[in-house]
Amino acid sequence: MAKAGKPGQKLSALPREIDPSSIDADQAFTPLLHIIEQAQARAYRAVNRELVGMYWDIGAYISAKAASERWGKGVVAEFSRWVQRRLPGVAGFSPQNVWRMKQLYETYDGNEKLSALLRQTTWTNNVLILSGAKTDQAREFYLLLATKYNYASRDLERQIDSLLFERTMLSNESSKQIVARHPELASLRDSYALEFLSLPDRHKERDLRNAIVAHLKDFILEFGKGFAFLGQEYRIQVGDTDFAIDLLFSNRELNCLVAIELKVGKFKPEHLGQLDFYLEALDRDVRKPRENPSIGLLLCTSKDDQVVEYALSRSLSAAMVAQYELHLPDKKMLEAKLRELSEVAELEVAENLDDK
């Protein structure tokens, strides 16, 4: 049925419908796709919050019964069988998983901040954090990380296994001073674990660069999401001379270019001059007007922290010097260092209180 026009208006004068073949579908429909994806994401988060909330409530009930009526793993196993008879096909109620619900509740009960955070990520991620993180500080670190980057369980497990929390906490003082001068470097660290490259201890810069490109997803996971790869041996021309940046990335969160230079060997101060030169060239000739100034990372086999501090103390560039390891760090050694650091910090606080 034809639509009626305004009083006195001829139907033939109505605007004709646009020809569908004349539009750019990607340009016209992409905003609608974003609406759909955002709604799906909100729905998924809502379902996840309810699921984790249900597990929390079950854990609270079983914990109370364990205290008042001495419920143990045998009763939990009986509950698991009972609920699967009553609700056949419903997953998630194995005896092990139900016991984890009790552990989750007892671990976070009374900690309002963390008990709210755990509802922002998946149950599988919560189980990984529960088993892999031993302190509230570490749990908060991984909960925030999983929420911010929307980690899949495989990615979060790798971060926990590589002791990312301990490595981040043990970042040396010179790196903290650099970040204080250049806050945009806060997303970079002074050490990285690249065990996924499977390189021999004796290797060349070319081998390192090619292995990184071949394992780009794992490399970006170690550095933090938000990085987009722009190229290896990225060519820039200054005057009549061509230069090549080992690896060039952009970072969505920082809205800037990130140049990474690779050095197989110990850090030398002259390495920094090369990186500074590349950052200047990027800012003058490659950076777009809407982008922030470029930042740089010099990734080397080893470094003397005092030499790094001297080299960076007068540098105006936003650059970080980091070392990489081809093997996962020793867990006991890192945990011991972290305990030592905590004890020193507690001693300093106590001394300051005594002085007052």
pLDDT per residue as tens digits for the range 173-210: 667 777 878 888 888 888 899 999 999 989 999 999 99
Confidence of residue 349 (pLDDT cuts 50, 70, 90): very low
Q: Is 15 left (phi over 0), alpha (psi -120 to 50) or beta?
A: beta
Amino acid sitting at position 112:
E
Q: What is the pLDDT of residue 214?
A: 95
CB neighbours of residue 339 within 10 Å: 10
pLDDT of 159 above 50: yes
Any idea what the Cα angle at residue 222 is, between residues 125 and 345, rounded to 5°?
A: 80
Average pLDDT score over residue span 252-258:
91
pLDDT of 341 above 70: no
Q: What is the pLDDT of residue 335?
A: 74
Nearest CA to 95 out of 111, 110, 81 is that of 81
Confidence of residue 15 (pLDDT cuts 50, 70, 90): confident
Q: 231: which strand partners?
A: 248
Average pLDDT of the chain is 87
Most confident of 37-46, 94-103, 316-325: 94-103
| Two tokens, residue 311 | 């080299």
* Contact by Cβ (8 Å): 321, 285: no
Q: How far apart are CA 168 and CA 190, in angstroms?
A: 9
pLDDT per residue as tens digits for the range 227-246: 999 999 999 999 999 999 99
Q: H-type helices in the chain, by residue range? A: 25-69, 73-86, 95-108, 112-117, 123-132, 136-149, 153-161, 164-169, 173-181, 205-214, 216-223, 269-285, 305-313, 331-355
pLDDT per residue as tens digits for the range 76-117: 999 999 999 998 888 899 999 999 999 999 999 999 999 999
Q: What is the pLDDT of residue 355?
A: 59
Which string of b and e fits 19-29 if b means at least 16 CB within 10 Å? eeeeeeeeeee
Q: What is the pLDDT of residue 79?
A: 94
pLDDT of 160 above 90: yes
The larger pLDDT score, comparing residue 302 to residue 351, is at: 302
